[in-house]
Amino acid sequence: MRKFIFTLFITLLPLFCMAQSQESIIRQIEQVGSATKSVECSFVQTKHVKLLNDKMVSYGKMYYSAPSLLRWEYTSPYTYTFILNQHQVLLKSAQRQDVVDVNNSKMFKEIVRLMMSSVVGSCLSDDTTFDVSIASVGNEWVATLLPLRRDMKQMWSRLVVHFNRSNQSVVKVEMYEPSGDYTIIELSNIRRNATIDSKLFSIN
Amino acid sequence: MLRGLYLFMVLMLVAHADLCAQEVGNEPCSQRYRVQIDVDKAGISGICILLSDEDEVLGAIVNEFGLSALSFSYDIKRDRVAIIDILPQIDRWYIRRVLRNDLRRIVPQIISSDDVCEYTNERYKLRYWFEPLALHSSNNY
Q: Are A53 and A61 in contact (CB under 8 A)?
A: no
Q: How far apart are CA B86 and CA B12, in angstroms?
A: 11
CB interface of A with B, residues 78-137, below 8 Å:
78, 80, 82, 91, 93-96, 98, 100, 105, 107-108, 111
Size of interface A-B (CB pairs under 8 A): 102
Q: State whether the Cα torsion B93-B94-B97-B103 is positive or negative.
A: negative
Residue from B6, B64, B91 to probe the interface with A (highest A Cβ count within 10 Å)? B64
Facing residue for B16 by CB, picked from A55, A80, A183 = A80
Min Cα distance B58 → chain A (Å) is 7
Q: Are A111 and A119 in contact (CB under 8 A)?
A: no
Q: Mean per-residue pLDDT for B115-122?
A: 93
- Under an 8 A CB cutoff, do B14 and A98 touch? no
Q: Mean per-residue pLDDT for B69-94?
A: 92
Name residue A42's amino acid.
Answer: S
Residue from A93, A102, A109 to probe the interface with B (highest B Cβ count within 10 Å)? A93
Q: How far apart are CA A117 and CA A111, in angstroms?
A: 10
Query: Has residue B5 got a pLDDT over 80?
Result: no
Q: How far apart are CA B76 and CA A26, in angstroms?
A: 53
Residue B141's pLDDT is what? 33
Residue A31's pLDDT is what? 86
Number of domains present in the structure of chain B: 1
Which segment of A73-82, B2-11, B68-77 scores lowest on mean pLDDT? Answer: B2-11
Displacement of CA B141 from its chain's centroid (Å) = 20
Q: How far apart are CA A36 and CA A119, in angstroms?
A: 10
Coil, strand, or helix at residue B3? helix
The CA–CA distances, whole Å, from A150 to A178, B66, B89 equal 12, 19, 11
Low-confidence ranges of chain A (pLDDT < 50): 20
Nearest alpha carbon to residue B127 among B48, B35, B64, B62: B35
Nearest alpha carbon to residue B26 among B2, B48, B55, B61: B55
Facing residue for B129 by CB, picked from A52, A95, A111 = A95
Which segment of A6-20, A83-97, B23-37, B110-124 scores lowest on mean pLDDT? Answer: A6-20
Query: Has residue B75 got a pLDDT over 80?
Result: yes
Min Cα distance A47 → chain B (Å) is 6
Facing residue for A80 by CB, picked from B11, B14, B71 = B14
Facing residue for B43 by CB, picked from A49, A98, A179 = A98
Say whether domain A21-193 belongs to CATH 3.40.50.20.
no
Residue B20's pLDDT is what? 37
Burial class (CB within 10 angstroms; exposed 0-12, middle 13-18, buried 19+) of B99: buried
Query: Has residue B121 got a pLDDT over 90?
Result: yes
Q: Are B26 and B138 in contact (CB under 8 A)?
A: no
CB burial readout B69-78, b (16+ within 10 A) else e: bbbbbbeeee
Name residue B129's amino acid.
Answer: W
Q: Mean per-residue pLDDT for B83-109?
A: 92
Query: Has residue B29 got a pLDDT over 50?
Result: yes
Nearest alpha carbon to residue B127 among B5, B4, B1: B5
**Which uninterrupted H or E stretch holds A76?**
strand A69-76
Name residue A38's amino acid.
Answer: S
Burial class (CB within 10 angstroms; exposed 0-12, middle 13-18, buried 19+) of A204: exposed
Coil, strand, or helix at residue B98? helix
Which segment of A59-63, B65-69, B95-99, B107-111 scores lowest on mean pLDDT? Answer: B65-69
In chain A, where are the structural domains located?
A: 21-193
Q: How far apart are CA A160 and CA B41, in angstroms?
A: 36
Confidence of residue B56 (pLDDT cuts 50, 70, 90): very high
| DSSP letter assigned to residue A199 | G
Q: B25 is in which domain, residue-wise?
A: 2-137
Q: How far apart are CA B99 and CA B82, in angstroms?
A: 9
Planar angle of CA B128, B9, A118, nearest 5 degrees = 130
Query: Has residue B13 got a pLDDT over 50?
Result: no
Could you give the ipTM of this predicted complex?
Answer: 0.77
